Amino acid sequence: MKIKFWGVRGSIPSPGPNTVRYGGNTTCIEIRTDSNELIIIDAGTGIFPLSQTLLTELPVTANVLITHSHWDHIQGLPFFIPNFIEGNLLRLHGAYDPVSGKGVEQVMSVQLQYSYFPVREAEMKTRIEYVTLTPEEPVKVGSATVTPYLLNHPVINFGYRIECDGKSIFFTGDHEPPYNIYEPADPLYAEYQGFVDDKHKAIDAAMHGVDVLIADCSYTEQEYLAKKGWGHGTFGSSIRSAQKAGSKLLFCTHHEPTRSDDALEEAFNHAVASNLASEGQLECRLAREGETYEF
């Protein structure tokens, strides 16, 4: 399989001289199977430059997996160029939203209201199909098997495990390791801790044995203290998850938008030194816009 990063920043696009090395676009990951089938995880602003490269291989069947509906993971979807060309297929996968009572189709319908975008869905030339997924129920996407898992974020967030030809990738989307919201003296602490422990076991099982883990590493351990409950992980929490899973490679992504490339490298290097006592089986990298990894 081949992985290419088209957007690695979180929350808001952050172009400029301080983010040139790692990139300023929001989340978008291109995955190609060994048969060259196209899977795209998330549709942040990075999906626009990705879509420009697809014009050389029309017609396109694009299987897009949406982790969750926050803007930085969907805001590039209306600008996906094959949408405006006949003969293409956009197959959008995602979760049912218990708040709105709608499936993944709302990701398009909300953004394509005339108040926000000049082209209606009915005017787009591509064929659009919607696949609302059920947690832990695998689906076939070409030769790949995709399994969504519920992770921890303020809205429904799917982490995706993609398996094909004996290889595997897991992307967390936005994920904060579950924690007990009660103080130890609270009568509800013990009961809630059982829920937290079960959730950790389920997430560990979902990631187990994966070759490549791509994880939300928005914060340092110090920053996290002020942002607990916001739904994001740290460099350290993601390194520990990769170690538990037995992964060979961890890509740290969802870079904090105010963090310069220099500061990003400094935070990453400190986390690696603090969490990896010695050289071992786990390799850690910062996700970089434009980087390709093939295995």
151 alpha carbon, distance to own chain's centre: 11
Cα dihedral sign, 76-78-81-87: positive
Dump strand ranges (E) for the chain: 2-7, 28-32, 38-41, 61-65, 89-95, 127-133, 139-141, 144-150, 158-164, 167-171, 212-216, 249-253, 283-286, 292-294
Q: Where are the domains of the chain?
A: 2-294
pLDDT in tens, the chain (295 residues): 999 999 999 999 999 999 999 999 999 999 999 999 999 999 999 999 999 999 999 999 999 999 999 999 999 999 999 999 999 999 999 999 988 899 999 999 999 998 999 999 989 999 999 999 999 999 999 999 999 999 999 999 999 999 999 999 999 999 999 999 999 999 999 999 999 999 999 999 999 999 999 999 999 999 999 999 999 999 999 999 999 999 999 999 999 999 999 999 999 999 999 998 765 679 999 999 999 999 9
**Sign (positive or negative) of CA dihedral 127, 130, 131, 135:** positive
Strands 167-171 and 158-164, how do they pair?
Answer: antiparallel
Beta bridge partners of 145: 140, 163
How wide is the angle at C-alpha 17 spanned by C-alphas 15 and 21, nearest 5°? 85
2-294 CATH fold = Metallo-beta-lactamase; Chain A (3.60.15)
Which of 295, 241, 239, 245 has the alpha carbon at shortest distance from 270? 239
Q: Which residues of 232-249 are buried (b: 16+ CB within 10 A; e: fewer)?
A: bbbbbbbbebbbebebeb
- Give Cβ neighbours of residue 238 (< 8 Å, ≥ 6 apart): 172, 213, 215, 216, 217, 250, 252
